[in-house]
Structure formats: C-alpha cells, structure tokens
Copies of this chain bind each other. A is one copy, B any other.
C-alpha cells in the first residue's frame, strides 16, 4: 500500500487488462452507438437501377430536340412509372412515360423531362405539379407537350452512382451513428456484427446510506453515488444496472457481488476502499472467487480520489473498479478510469475525453499539493468565434464532498502533479464533461 501510483499508471494498468467485448450480431437499430467489427461490402449497387431524379416524363432525347414553349414537342403518354414498379413500359419514338422520382427509367427512354417543363398533359401552359393519381387516373394517358429539350441522361441517377457492388461501405472499427445505420439499411443489411454495449453493474457501499425518498435516520445520508455512477455509465455508452447501497458487511457485499457477476461486463463499486476498519470492499474484493481474486488497492497521487482498486474477478475475469466513496471523488474517478474502461470494452478507438486549454478566470491564485495531480471542478466556456481558447472558472472548493458545486460544473480542471500554484489568467488544461 505504500507505493503511490500516478493517474496515468493506474489508467494504463486498467486499459492493458480490459479487452473489447466479443462481437455479437444485432438488429440494425440495436447496433446504434456500437462499433462495427466487420468490413461491410456493398452487395448491390446503389441505386440498383437507373432512376428518375424528378417527377416528369421519361422520353427519348431526339423526340424533344429543339422544343420550346411556342413549338412544343407533342408526345403520346403511354402510362405511368411509379416508384417500386417492376413492370416497365417500353418508350418508343414519339412516346413518353409519366415517371415519378425514384422510379426506374423505362427501356427506350434516355432522359427525364421535369413536369415543370411540360403542360402536364393538360393542354395549357407549363404546370407546377402533377394531379394526384388517385384523383385523376387519366393523367397517365393522352398527350403531353414538352417545352424544353433534355440531354442524354439528364435527371437520371445512373445505377451505381452512389455506391458500387463490391465496394466497402463501412470499415471495421466504424462507430454506427444515424447516417451509418442508414447506409447499412440502404444496402440491405438487416443485422450487423458489432461489439455490444457493456453491462455495467454499480454497487455503492456504506451502512450510512439510505435510498432517496426514504426517511433519514440519525447518522445516515442519502446514497447518491449509485445514481451518479449509473447515469454516467449510461452516458458513456453502457447498459447500466444500479444495485444500490449495500451495508458495510463483508458477507452481504460478497454475495451481492458474486450474484451480480452473471450480468456484468464491468463492476463498479464506491466506498470502502480507504484505510478504515469498516472498508469491506477492500476486504471482500481480495477474496471473491475463493481467494483467487486479484483486485489491487492503491494510493494514487491525485486529489480527489486517492484510494482506488482495480482487478479482475470471478470465472470470467470480470473487471472491477473500486472507487472511493466521497461523491465528488467517485465521480472524478468515474471520469478518469471507468469511462475509458467502458469505451475500451466497446472497442472505441478513442477511450479518453478530449481536453482543451483555457484561461483560468479566478480572483485568487489556486494552490495545489506538490506531487498530487488535482482535478478541480470548473465552469468552462468554449472559445468564442475567432478565439483560440475558452475560459474556465473554478466552481466550489477542493473539498471532495461538494456535490452541490459539482452539479454546477461542466468541466474538470486538470492541475499537473508538480504544479503548486496557478495565478489568475494562466492557461490550464480542462476536460469538458458534455455527454
């Protein structure tokens, strides 16, 4: 216990042990937010056939050459081609097929004349719209006057102009957001193989903890850690389960954790990791799995969050992160260690939050203990237009129990180990905490 670890050493130890979850096949919408593990090839070119980009008339270009409003080309309308129609009419010389956006270009036709360049079959001037099929079935017959010529292929989206069969639509490692889900749907994939969202089980410990909404007894406080950590794990991309508060009793805690392992890809505990006589998390986590547990408890050169535990337990070597119990310590520890672990389980390329440099806006200089990396809570304002740097103002004090101040913060201010003093206006590193 006397060796002190740096934040980076502890995180590296976690990341070198946590492996991405085994891939599973999911329905497309269930895979949203997950990382693809296969290169997905395009089975069929998109669009799969030449099709119209406009509502109008499919024609042969020679038939409308030189046409104008005064001397329109008059064509015989041989029918409709609606989107989705498989049975296409053949457009012969002097003919036109009324065609809808997205419908296949019928054989014989070489281009599409938009309806606005015609009389719409009404025998008058240019029209702006077609009459609805349901109210005017006759619109697909008779004659149409075309007022402008079209070139070969005009208003036609050629087969394969979006993607060609055989091309890689998305590469392994791609994060599936809405547009990527859309592309997979467009090429016909109903399911896809991804790394699933990790299931994170959150257990807070402490005999003093009472569930919110219940009555506080003497010496008791409300359990907030299990709520913060469950919510934060969800924001990080996990499916999170809040077990709630377990009392400082070794047997209860041991059986709770053993029970939960079945549904956990990661276990997060808070509390009971310090040097006290009732720190049962430390006691229990070195014994889970018949004593073969390998959870190590460490002192980190950081503030808040000094005592931390990490190891792999149970038959599946499930990673467990044991965080300190002070609410702010627990949340800062989550951000620094649990979030990267969740994202490593997901196979995300980038597991750490982005950082930014900001000007410190404060009335008095900040002090920090030499040899300790300090994480203050801050209110961060990103750079205004044209500026390179934002500003950050510390919120609340350094006390690790100031959960009220934490709720006003939107960033951590990261003060390096060697820094002992930062004067107003100096530049600092911030970690914005936006979801």
Q: How many residues of A contact B (CB 8 A)?
A: 124
Instruction: State the CA gap A191–B212 with chains docked (Å).
Output: 8
Name the one of B128, B274, B283, B331 contacting A134, with C-beta atoms under 8 angstroms: B283
> How many copies of this chain does the complex contain?
2
Choose, from A58-66, A174-182, A364-372, the stretch at the interface. A174-182
B55 and A275 form a contact (CB under 8 A): yes
B157 and A399 form a contact (CB under 8 A): yes
Name the one of B102, B177, B219, B279 contacting A86, with C-beta atoms under 8 angstroms: B219
> Closest CB-CB distance, A433 to chain B, in whole Å?
8
Q: Which of A104, A242, A282 has the most CB of B within 10 A?
A: A104
Name the one of B33, B48, B189, B216 contacting A188, with C-beta atoms under 8 angstroms: B216
B276 and A101 form a contact (CB under 8 A): yes
B406 and A183 form a contact (CB under 8 A): yes
Within 8 A of B (CB), among A369-424: 383, 385-389, 399, 401-404, 406-407, 409
**Is A309 close to B, CB under 8 A?**
no
Collect the chain B residues with CB atoms within 8 Å of residue A188's CB: 210, 212-214, 216, 222
**Is A17 close to B, CB under 8 A?**
no
A180 and B407 form a contact (CB under 8 A): yes
Q: Beta-carbon contacts of A122-151 to B below 8 Å, as 1s and 0s?
A: 000000111111111001100000000000
Collect the chain B residues with CB atoms within 8 Å of residue A280's CB: 132, 134
A224 and B182 form a contact (CB under 8 A): yes
Name the one of B87, B139, B223, B385 contacting A185, with C-beta atoms under 8 angstroms: B223
Instruction: Beyond A44-B216, A82-B208, list 16 extra A-B contacts (CB 8 Å).
Output: A28-B212, A32-B231, A82-B278, A83-B208, A83-B278, A84-B248, A157-B399, A162-B401, A177-B231, A178-B232, A181-B231, A182-B228, A186-B221, A188-B212, A188-B213, A383-B388
**Chain A residues packing against B (C-beta within 8 Å):** 1-2, 28-29, 32-33, 44, 46-49, 53, 55, 80, 82-88, 98, 100-104, 115-116, 128-136, 139-140, 157, 161-163, 167, 169-170, 177-191, 206-214, 216-232, 234-235, 242, 247-248, 250, 274-280, 282-283, 325-327, 331, 357, 383, 385-389, 399, 401-404, 406-407, 409, 433, 435
The 5 closest A-B pairs by CB, nearest first: A190-B213, A84-B208, A182-B228, A86-B218, A84-B207
| 9 CB-based A-B contacts, threshold 8 Å | A29-B231, A115-B276, A133-B277, A139-B277, A179-B228, A182-B228, A184-B212, A186-B224, A190-B212
